Amino acid sequence: MSKIVDAAYAVAAIRDGSTVASVGVIGWITPDAVLKALGDRFRDTGAPRDLTVYLPVGTGDAQAIKGMDHLAQVGLMKRIVSGSYINPVDPVTGKRPELMRLIRENAIEAYSWPIGASMHWLREVARNSPGYLTRVGLGTYIDPELGGGKFTARATEDLVRRVEIDGETLLYYPTWKIDVAIIRASSADEHGNLSFEDEPLTSANIGLALAAKASGGRVIAQVRRIMPADTRAASAVAIPGMFVDAVVVDAEMMMASETEYEPAYFGGARMPLDRLPRPAMSPDKVIAARAAREVRKRELSIFGFGAAADVPLVMAERGLFDGGAMKDYWFTTEHGSYGGVVMSGWQFSANVNPDAIIDGLYQFDVIDGGLCPFAALAFAQFDAAGVVNVSKFGAANPGAGGFIDIAENAKRLVFTGTFTTNGLSVAFENGRLKILSEGRVKKFAPAVESVTYSVARGVRERGQTALIVTERAVFEYRKEGLTLTEIAPGVDLDRDVLGQMDFAPRVNRAGLREMSRELFSQAEDLRAAS
């Protein structure tokens, strides 16, 4: 019997109170047609109600690919547990995601877990384990002593516990059953055998399918095409059909917002490096260019969302990958694409011209095992105690994503971001930086709003090194505290740096270095100087 059905039929059997799990990485591999059908069903019929929604990663971008925002309806969603959230302003409507509104208005129970935990937890569900144990996240916002990942007042149940085993304190994530997994692949046959031949990532799809089946649940798969049975090599099939209950075909599904289909993201074609986007001259580009100077050849380097993701693009623009030199740089992100060029913006997570793509759960084995020695990550706040925050600030609730796992297990850390935000405007003149208007929000705060990672503990207890790179200054976090080491040409130390911080760093004025003027030149000048 064929398992091929339409999206409305596939979601028709989901019952009130079910746990529904899905995954996408921003727009990548998001089963958007099925998620939309579930949202439409509730809007039209009022059922199913009171779902628990489990998302290892922020699913969809709430723009061209709505993803989790299809389910952001009061009554449909009772609780959400997600490894990250999406909070952009839609350029067409000017609105933020509906899910963010529900969180801000305390309309649902919302929890945020580090992606490493949200991925690895699926393994424990799949093998009927009582729960997931880890050291990662102690002393951060996911620690029950610092909130336990609760993002709304309605979220009162403790989903994470502190336990002691053999004298060591660990975090424990108890498991529960998954009733329905909604996943995405490239193709299926009528028996439901799934392959990912033209997807740039696999993320948690395999883990979700196995966890749902081990729970006695159902698996719904969205694919681009149907292949005749027995026409693919068995090694190409990643999920056997006996674990798939329904297949929904969406021949028009996009790879990501702004990208309908691009084979260079999964190795089906090679993109010439001169076709890569060239980041516009901006504070983020300056930051990326300075951070790029910390990248070493043949050292696995992992990049996070934001200015950090511009680092490989700036390196490409400067010609550092020409003549086959791309193979000397080992780049990845938390989502499992290896080699090639990490992309930024809504293209982040998938690499152009990758050498390999591995499963999302295994990628966090790589990260937690310390196999990514160098990490470039963003920061939203940095405080006097040496704590960095990216998880919850102001009206934004993005969660940590893979930040905690990456930061705890790398050896060399570079945190990237503008010095202030919300209104910052600058100009570049003759290799100098000019502040035209200051951001209204200071990012160097007396205390962060959410503890994402203690850089101080990493430096003092684990021997990490840490730089904080901004468009106007570079700091090093040392055992004695935050130390200013470089300042941009054209910037006044007291007015533009110290005067825009809510605490005082250590400063040796006589030994303060000037940031290279090349960083503040236009792209053509940068390439000529490289």
Of the three residues 205, 225, 249, the one that is the final residue of a domain is 249
Based on the domain organization, do 211 and 87 belong to the same domain? yes
Of the three residues 225, 249, 273, the one that is the final residue of a domain is 249
* Tokens standing for residue 21: 């799990």
Based on the domain organization, do 337 and 224 belong to the same domain? no
CB atoms within 10 A of CB 479: 9
Based on the domain organization, do 341 and 422 belong to the same domain? yes
Answer whether residue 30 shows pLDDT above 60. Answer: yes
Percent of the chain scored above 90 by pLDDT? Answer: 92
Number of folded domains in the chain?
2
Nearest 5°: phi and psi at 14?
-70, 125
Answer whether residue 441 shows pLDDT above 50. Answer: yes
Q: Which residues contact 416 (CB under 8 A, 6 or more apart)?
A: 287, 288, 291, 306, 307, 308, 311, 376, 377, 378, 379, 469, 470
Looking at residue 233, which CATH number applies to its domain? 3.40.1080.10
Task: Judge whether 4 and 152 are in contact, CB under 8 Å.
Answer: no
As to burial, measured by CB atoms within 10 angstroms (0-12 exposed, 13-18 middle, 19+ buried), residue 87 is middle
Based on the domain organization, do 483 and 337 belong to the same domain? yes
Based on the domain organization, do 318 and 348 belong to the same domain? yes
Nearest 5°: phi and psi at 467?
-110, 145
Measure Cα distances from 37 to 17, 30, 102, 108, 382 in Å: 18, 13, 20, 21, 42
Among residues 124, 199, 334, 471, which one is catalytic? 334
Of the three residues 249, 274, 299, the one that is the final residue of a domain is 249
Residue 460 forms part of a structural domain: yes
> Residue 437 and residue 64: Cα distance in Å, rounded?
33
Based on the domain organization, do 423 and 464 belong to the same domain? yes
Residue 323 forms part of a structural domain: yes
Q: Rounded to the nearest 10 degrees, how much is the dihedral formed by the CA atoms of 359, 363, 369, 371?
A: 120
Provide the mean pLDDT of the chain. Answer: 95
**Using 50, 70 and 90 to split pLDDT, how confident is the model at 522?**
low
Based on the domain organization, do 47 and 164 belong to the same domain? yes
Answer whether residue 529 shows pLDDT above 80. Answer: no
Residue 258 forms part of a structural domain: no
What is the mean predicted confidence (pLDDT) over 285-314?
Answer: 96
DSSP calls for 109-137: EEEE--HHHHHHHHHHHHTT-SEEEESTT
317 is catalytic: no
Q: Within 13 Å of residue 321, how many CA atoms lie on the same side as its CB?
A: 24
Q: What is the pLDDT of residues 217-265, one digit of tens each?
A: 999 999 999 999 999 999 999 999 999 999 999 999 999 888 899 999 9
How far does Cα 346 stand from its chain's mean position?
A: 11
**Using 50, 70 and 90 to split pLDDT, how confident is the model at 527?**
very low
Based on the domain organization, do 332 and 237 belong to the same domain? no
Residue 2 forms part of a structural domain: no
Give the structural domain span for 311.
263-529
* Tokens standing for residue 461: 């207890």
How far does Cα 109 stand from its chain's mean position?
A: 22
Based on the domain organization, do 94 and 172 belong to the same domain? yes
Q: Residue 423: its pLDDT value, please? A: 96
What is the mean predicted confidence (pLDDT) over 120-149?
Answer: 98
Based on the domain organization, do 108 and 235 belong to the same domain? yes
Residue 254 forms part of a structural domain: no
List 187's β-bridge partners, or say none. Answer: 195, 225
Residue 1 forms part of a structural domain: no
Based on the domain organization, do 113 and 59 belong to the same domain? yes
CB atoms within 10 A of CB 502: 12
Global pTM value:
0.96
Based on the domain organization, do 210 and 306 belong to the same domain? no
Residue 257 forms part of a structural domain: no
Handedness of CA 196, 201, 206, 212 (dihedral sign): negative
Q: Residue 346: its pLDDT value, please? A: 85
Answer whether residue 454 shows pLDDT above 60. Answer: yes
Q: What angle do CA 333, 338, 340 make, to 5 degrees?
A: 100
Nearest to 292 by CA among 527, 524, 26: 527
